[in-house]
Structure 1
Amino acid sequence: MADPNQPGGSGRDKVEQPSRRKFLVQAGYAVGGVIVGGALGSLIRPSKKTETAPQTGEGTTAEIKNYNRAPMFFNQEQLGIVSAATERIFPADDAGPGALALGVPFFIDHQLAGEWGFNSREYMSPPFYAGEKVQGYQGRLKRREMFEIGLRELENYSQTKFTKGFAALAPEQQDEVLKAFESDEVKLTTISASGFFKMLRSSTLEGAYSDPLYGGNADMNGWKMRSYPGNQMSYADVIDKDFSVIAPSSLQDHLSAH
């Protein structure tokens, strides 16, 4: 009987290896590239031609859609209220775009869908005591829950005072509602109206001026209005030069450069 460990042996390995390879290839296609198709499948499948951006009928490159502009936490009604409220807090004017154009509502939505919305890095266990006004909310509610309550109460107050939802109000009426929350004219039981307004306002400003990598400050227009240079890796090339304005740079620019 031939030794299978020697060349010209039983040929068992020669039979098994191709079938095993065939199985892996088929498995890679079957799971849609989740595990085998992504990690191992790329090694055993022939490489595909690099895809390019779609072309328009005139031969120019079509604009790439921003699929990051989609709600991850808010429903459509909540997103409409946040969009209207943030635009009144940070409206478009001669200086530049407002919250809507900067993508602020989606920035807030994505933050609430992540660790910030869950208060995941904060101590959230009892006992809870009423804190000073400067300390903000002291309790078990997470930020995402506070936003849900605040938006619902914003809508309820708008319906009670103007018989319309907040998003359908005239800008002056929306300002009146927001000021009523800011001054604690509106009395809430679970959270303070002013506490919710402050959280909404600070989130709006963060969305307008944070790095575009996080979903707001579209095209760095928030920075451009302030002549802020953004996230520069170094100033060595301009430190000895006479300059007044530096073109802003995002973290995304540096990621794509490497």
Structure 2
Amino acid sequence: MAAKTTDSKMSRRRFLRNSSYVAGGLVGGGLLGGLIGSRFNPETETASTGSVDSDHGTANQAQLYFTNPEKFEILQHAVERIYPKDETGPGAIDLGVPFFIDHQLAGSWGHNAREYMQGPFFPGSNFQGYQSPLKRNELFDVGIDRLDSYSQEKFKNKFTELEGEQQDEVLKDFEADKVKMRGATSKTFFNQLRAATLEGVYADPAYGGNLNMEGWKMKSFPGHQMSYINQIESDKFVEIKPKGLHSY
């Protein structure tokens, strides 16, 4: 659900503090085998994500998929409402999430390169995976356009010009499947957008998000350590400076 109000921020803080699933599952293994494809190569990754500062775990950001700056701006506003900046730490924009999503849409994930994409297509249940005939980059194109057109229907204004609470209402309508879309349900688009946002927050910085490893730092996640031989027997929580893939 899109974040807003103090209650929503409290929920986010509890999420950051308690979500061992994100730290141990998405960051540690499941995410790297899911949204992020197998194209990563430390010697060639600059072609797909820009050059990387291995000392600070940051990637120089460049758009690879979005050629329309207005669409990219809509994406920026949407992901920031899903993962906003607050007293806990930086939000999606400061963490580079829009560029992470852009890079993934330009790659094998965005093209559904590893998935069977032939018909017939039928509406899926909530327990099934991706069911749309649209490739993910096509889904994001349609979804982003619909975010803007639905905002003008509902509030007579562009999505990027709405107040934050109004943007939340639009996103909640997408989440609740109240918006008609071509080729997929609005809930499908919202779920893909929300998942990609969180993955951009916690993925290795080599993929364009999690700038300066701030997503990891908020959870005290150590990143990719060669070993924990000096900490494994400690009976106290050990703070470890995080390392990304390009640290080695």
Taking structure 1 as the reference length, the TM-score comes to 0.70
Aligned length: 190
Q: Is the 8 A contact 1:117 1:142 kept in 2?
A: yes
Matched, 1:253 2:219: no
2:80 to 81, 87, 94: 87
Residues 211-238 of structure 1, C-alpha deviations (whole Å, 9 max, x = no match): 0010000000001101111111211122
Query: 1:131 corresponds to which letter in structure 2?
Result: G
* Equivalence for 1:72: 64
Q: How does 1:40-79 map to 2 (within 5 A)?
A: 68-74=60-66, 75-79=68-72
Alpha-carbon distance between aligned partners in 2 of 1:191 and 1:83, rounded to the nearest angstrom: 22
1:223 to 199, 203, 216: 216
Alpha-carbon distance between aligned partners in 2 of 1:129 and 1:193, rounded to the nearest angstrom: 16
Q: Is the 8 A contact 1:104 1:216 kept in 2?
A: yes
Structure 2 residue matching 1:82: 3-state secondary structure: helix
Residues 111-150 of structure 1, C-alpha deviations (whole Å, 9 max, x = no match): 0001100000111122223221321442421000000000
Q: Is the 8 A contact 1:230 1:248 kept in 2?
A: yes
* Equivalence for 1:22: none
Alpha-carbon distance between aligned partners in 2 of 1:148 and 1:190, rounded to the nearest angstrom: 11
Q: Is the 8 A contact 2:142 2:182 kept in 1?
A: no
Structure 2 residue matching 1:117: 3-state secondary structure: coil
Alpha-carbon distance between aligned partners in 1 of 2:161 and 2:79, rounded to the nearest angstrom: 14
Structure 2 residue matching 1:92: 3-state secondary structure: coil
1:232 to 222, 225, 232: 225
1:191 to 172, 175, 184: 184
Alpha-carbon distance between aligned partners in 1 of 2:115 and 2:163, rounded to the nearest angstrom: 38
Q: Is the 8 A contact 1:137 1:191 kept in 2?
A: no
* Equivalence for 1:9: none
* Equivalence for 2:24: none
Question: How high is the sequence identity, in percent, across the aligned residues?
Answer: 54
Give the drift of 1:164: 1.4
Alpha-carbon distance between aligned partners in 2 of 1:214 and 1:189, rounded to the nearest angstrom: 30
Structure 1 residue matching 2:127: 3-state secondary structure: helix
Residues 160-196 of structure 1, C-alpha deviations (whole Å, 9 max, x = no match): 1112111111101100100010001112242101110
Higher-Rg member (1/2): 1
2:147 to 144, 148, 154: 154
Alpha-carbon distance between aligned partners in 2 of 1:164 and 1:90, rounded to the nearest angstrom: 23
* Equivalence for 1:28: none
Matched, 1:125 2:124: no
Q: Does 103-112 or 130-139 show the bigger shift?
A: 130-139
Query: 2:244 corresponds to which letter in structure 1?
Result: S
Alpha-carbon distance between aligned partners in 1 of 2:93 and 2:203, rounded to the nearest angstrom: 15
Q: How does 1:18-33 map to 2 (within 5 A)?
A: none
Structure 2 gaps of 5+ residues are: 1-55
Structure 1 residue matching 2:109: 3-state secondary structure: helix
Structure 2 residue matching 1:98: 3-state secondary structure: coil
Alpha-carbon distance between aligned partners in 1 of 2:227 and 2:130, rounded to the nearest angstrom: 39
Alpha-carbon distance between aligned partners in 1 of 2:129 and 2:160, rounded to the nearest angstrom: 27
Residues 6-34 of structure 1, C-alpha deviations (whole Å, 9 max, x = no match): xxxxxxxxxxxxxxxxxxxxxxxxxxxxx
Q: Is the 8 A contact 1:187 1:193 kept in 2?
A: yes
Alpha-carbon distance between aligned partners in 2 of 1:115 and 1:211, rounded to the nearest angstrom: 17
